[in-house]
Amino acid sequence: MVTTPTPGEGPVRPVSVSLHEGTIAALKERTGKRGMSAYVEALIQRQLERDRLRELIADAEAEHGPVDQQAVEAKRAILRGDPANSADAA
């Protein structure tokens, strides 16, 4: 059985994409000419992960209902190290 490589796996192949000149200039300034491919690869992988996460959240909300926003904020407070706002999260 042939499997399709997951993002970040498999051989590297050149592809053609169209970008605005200003975007290209900013990319070259940030990465140098030789680092552009790695930078763009990382950006695409991160976006694919975010898209998949959004899909998983939508599936979970469809099955279990929307998340409790107060609980989310309490958990964020814990992650930020703000114990005054995280009392409800425990």
The closest of 2, 39, 49 to 17, measured between CA atoms, is 39
Helix runs in the chain, H state only: 21-31, 36-64, 69-80
Confidence at residue 48, expressed as pLDDT on a 0 to 100 scale? 97
Confidence at residue 3, expressed as pLDDT on a 0 to 100 scale? 87
Q: What is the DSSP letter of 83?
A: G
**Residue that has been written with the tokens 């469809």 in this structure:** 62
Q: Are 52 and 59 in contact (CB under 8 A)?
A: no
Evaluate if pTM is beyond 0.75. Answer: no
Q: Are 31 and 39 in contact (CB under 8 A)?
A: yes
pLDDT tens for the chain, 90 residues long, are 778 999 989 999 999 999 999 999 999 999 998 899 999 999 999 999 999 999 999 999 999 999 899 999 999 999 999 876 655 544
Per-residue pLDDT tens over the stretch 63-82: 999 989 999 999 999 999 98
